[in-house]
């Protein structure tokens, strides 16, 4: 398979376009890591999805680079020097982080998107305020997030009092600094 | 080629730095235009800087047209990916329920009785805020007490997320059943998510 790919690449990719191969390598590596993630997820979705994704997507990078460096059939894509390796790495890390951010939106549920989709699928009849409220109440947005914060140890609860943990303080402070610097109002 | 190429490789990171700085300046200079306008301005400036720097470096290296397009596209995609991450970090302050709740606790010295917390930020206030935001943004239109679709842009994003959810999580996606007992398509479409909402 690798030899076939290599022969195909030899015939179809112009050798005098040395930089193009880096783009193909970078896109191919991310594509391979995405395919691996997709196949694994079709079999079983892991418990800690974001952490598993990070390991799979970032772990593919050194493995892929090692493959093109040491597997003779893939030598066409071998990067020349640290600059090309850095280029592939920066692209892979950027796209991986963006995908993980986007993936977190698939894991949870956004109240706003739920509202929009519900109204759009009302087939022109629209939704009443009561219907929208009942939809979001069933999603329990505040309760679910509180449960998640307790589970993630950002907050503890004892005798009916919620307390921030060190992790919770770190999140509140780091995002809070950005809010002050960028002059943003409280959101949520 | 090596020094020029190393510079070419870090252009997306430089573009991100330009985005952050431009956003910082825009959010202090441009007032009363909402939080997304400075973000868009910063993103555009960073993108222009990343693309221009990539073009200039490749031009100076005497690169052919096909290589030039491939690498400019690759750097552009990496910059957009970094920019998406930065946008989401900033958006945590604007739209994230979880961050708002953490900040409420931090503002009260790090602890708060559950009853006080519930009165400060509860499901009813979240619902009211969401509906009001969607209406004021033009994404929902209210007519005679009923809500209809408005601007399509955010709805398209929601549909894309819905498709991705189906494609990636497939049948394993946890589908909620809504309070009014609807099932099937109506219930399915309410499973998408993003804290990053206007």
Instruction: Provide mean pLDDT across the span A61-75.
Output: 87
Best to test chain A binding among B1, B34, B64, B97 (most A CBs inside 10 Å)? B97
Q: Please, where are the H alpha helices in chain A?
A: 2-12, 20-43, 49-70, 81-107, 111-120, 129-139, 141-151, 166-181
Query: Above 90 in pLDDT, residue A3?
Result: no
Contacts (Cβ under 8 Å, ≥6 apart) of B156: none
* pLDDT above 90 coverage of chain A, percent: 30
Residue A169: what pLDDT?
Answer: 92
Chain B's closest residue to A181, CA to CA, is: B24
Residue B173: what pLDDT?
Answer: 52
Residue B108: what pLDDT?
Answer: 87
Which of these, B78, B79, B72, lies nearest to B54 by C-alpha position?
A: B72
Residue bearing the bigger pLDDT, B63 or A10: B63
Residue bearing the bigger pLDDT, A121 or B63: A121
Residues of A in contact with B163 (CB under 8 A): none
Residues of B in contact with A115 (CB under 8 A): 130-131, 134, 140
Residue B178: what pLDDT?
Answer: 37
Residue A33: what pLDDT?
Answer: 95
In three-state secondary structure terms, B7 is helix
Residue A140: what pLDDT?
Answer: 77
pLDDT tens per residue across span B128-175: 888 888 998 899 999 988 999 998 888 898 898 888 888 888 755 544
**Residue A178 Cα, gap to closest chain B Cα (Å):** 7
In three-state secondary structure terms, B181 is coil
Instruction: Provide mean pLDDT across the span A49-76.
Output: 89
Residue bearing the bigger pLDDT, A19 or B188: A19
User: Rounded to whole angstroms, how far apart are CA atoms B137 and B34?
Assistant: 11
Most trustworthy range by pLDDT among A50-64, A142-156, B89-103, B121-135: A50-64
**Residue keyed to tokens 């090596």:** B2
Listed as ranges, residues in chain B with pLDDT below 70 are 1-2, 171-198
Cα B39 to the chain's mean position, in Å?
10
Q: Does the CB of A162 have a partner CB in chain B at under 8 Å?
A: yes
User: Rounded to whole angstroms, how far apart are CA atoms B66 and B81?
Assistant: 23
Residue A40: what pLDDT?
Answer: 92
**Residue A67 Cα, gap to closest chain B Cα (Å):** 21
Residues of B in contact with A29 (CB under 8 A): none
CB A169 within 8 Å of CB B107: no
Residue A29: what pLDDT?
Answer: 94
Strand ranges of the sheet holding B140-143, from the earlier edge strand across to the other edge: A127-128, B146-149, B140-143
Chain A's closest residue to B179, CA to CA, is: A138
User: Rounded to whole angstroms, how far apart are CA atoms A117 and B153?
Assistant: 12
Which of these, A115, A128, A133, A130, lies nearest to B189 by C-alpha position?
A: A115
């Amino acid at each position: 398979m690798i030899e076939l790919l290599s022969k195909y690449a030899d015939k179809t990719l112009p050798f005098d376009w040395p930089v193009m191969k880096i783009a193909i390598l970078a896109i191919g590596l991310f594509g391979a890591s995405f395919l691996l993630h997709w196949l694994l997820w079709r079999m079983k979705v892991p418990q800690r999805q974001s952490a598993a994704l990070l390991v799979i997507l970032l772990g593919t990078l050194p493995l892929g680079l090692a493959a093109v460096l040491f597997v003779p059939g893939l030598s066409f894509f071998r990067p020349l020097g640290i600059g090309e390796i850095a280029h592939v790495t920066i692209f892979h890390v950027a796209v991986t982080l963006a995908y993980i951010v986007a993936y977190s939106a698939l894991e949870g549920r956004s109240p706003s998107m739920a509202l929009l989709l519900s109204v759009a699928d009302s087939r022109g009849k629209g939704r009443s305020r009561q219907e929208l409220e009942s939809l979001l109440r069933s999603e329990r947005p505040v309760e679910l997030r509180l449960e998640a914060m307790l589970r993630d140890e950002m907050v503890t609860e004892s005798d009916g009092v919620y307390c921030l943990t060190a992790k919770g303080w770190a999140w509140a402070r780091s995002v809070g600094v950005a809010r002050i610097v960028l002059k943003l109002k409280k959101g949520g | 080629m090596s020094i020029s190429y190393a510079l070419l490789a870090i252009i997306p990171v430089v573009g991100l730095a330009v985005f952050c700085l431009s956003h910082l300046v825009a959010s202090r200079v441009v007032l009363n235009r909402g939080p997304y306008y400075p973000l868009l301005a910063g993103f555009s400036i960073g993108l222009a800087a990343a693309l221009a720097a990539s073009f200039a470096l490749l031009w100076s290296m005497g690169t052919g047209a096909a290589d030039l397009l491939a690498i400019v596209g690759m750097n552009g995609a990496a910059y957009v990916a970094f920019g998406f991450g930065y946008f989401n970090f900033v958006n945590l302050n604007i739209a994230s329920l979880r961050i708002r709740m953490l900040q409420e606790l931090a503002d009260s010295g790090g602890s708060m009785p559950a009853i006080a917390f519930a009165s400060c930020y509860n499901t009813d206030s979240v619902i009211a805020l969401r509906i009001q935001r969607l209406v004021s943004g033009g994404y929902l239109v209210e007519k005679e007490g009923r809500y209809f679709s408005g601007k399509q842009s955010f709805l398209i994003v929601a549909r894309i997320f819905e498709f991705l959810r189906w494609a990636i999580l497939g049948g394993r996606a946890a589908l909620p059943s809504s309070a009014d007992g609807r099932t099937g398509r109506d219930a399915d479409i309410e499973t998408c998510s993003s804290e990053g909402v206007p």
